[in-house]
Amino acid sequence: MGGHQLHYRLLGEGPVTFVLESGGGEYSGTWGEIEDDLGEIGRVFVYDRAGMGWSEEGPHPRTVDRIVDELHTALERADVPAPYVLMGHSLGGMIATLYSMEHPGEVAGLLLIDPSHKDQMKRLPQPPAW
């Protein structure tokens, strides 16, 4: 992927692929037994974004747009066909949402778990000084 490797696992079989997108600061191991359970009813693609888990560091700045492009390329290179059900937690929810907007023909569904919002950091109060 543009000079860096992304770690991924692919398991299960079925007509739909569940794409698991972890939250900020998390890696593919976060999903634990969920990926095994989903693998019983369909295909599962779980990966580490660039610089996370077992993936190599990617180009900076790390933007949501860049991450969406890298995910799209990773799915193509891993030969994982659509349709996808994108499952995103926290930052992963924002990534999944943007992916569905940029590639609507590939997405059969979205499952967002406590998703981040693009203006989230602007709206949070400053933490107290210690």
Q: Is residue 66 part of a domain?
A: yes
Q: Is residue 54 part of a domain?
A: yes
Of the listed ranges 19-28, 45-54, 109-118, the least confidently predicted one is: 45-54
pLDDT averaged over the chain?
87
Global pTM reads 0.86
Q: Among candidates 65, 113, 103, which has minimal Cα distance to 83?
A: 103
For residue 31, the surrounding DSSP H or E stretch is none
Q: Is residue 77 part of a domain?
A: yes
Omega prior to 61 cis, within 30 of 0:
yes
Number of domains in the chain: 1
**CATH number, domain containing residue 43:** 3.40.50.1820
Tell me how far apart the alpha carbons of residues 121 and 46 are, in angstroms, rounded to a whole number: 26
Q: Is residue 60 part of a domain?
A: yes
Q: How many CA atoms lie within 13 A of 31 on its CB side?
A: 27
Which phi and psi angles does 48 have, rounded to 5°? -105, 125
**Residue 24 structure tokens:** 């900020």
Q: Is residue 3 part of a domain?
A: no
- For residue 3, what pLDDT band results from cuts at 50, 70 and 90? confident
Tell me how far apart the alpha carbons of residues 38 and 109 are, in angstroms, rounded to a whole number: 14
Q: Point out which residues pair with 8 in neighbouring strands.
A: 47
Tell me how far apart the alpha carbons of residues 46 and 8 are, in angstroms, rounded to a whole number: 6
pLDDT tens per residue across span 7-47: 899 999 999 999 999 998 888 888 989 999 999 999 999 99
- For residue 126, what pLDDT band results from cuts at 50, 70 and 90? low
Q: Is residue 126 part of a domain?
A: no
Q: Is residue 122 part of a domain?
A: no
Tell me how far apart the alpha carbons of residues 29 and 6 are, in angstroms, rounded to a whole number: 14
- For residue 121, what pLDDT band results from cuts at 50, 70 and 90? low
Question: Domain range for residue 20?
Answer: 8-117
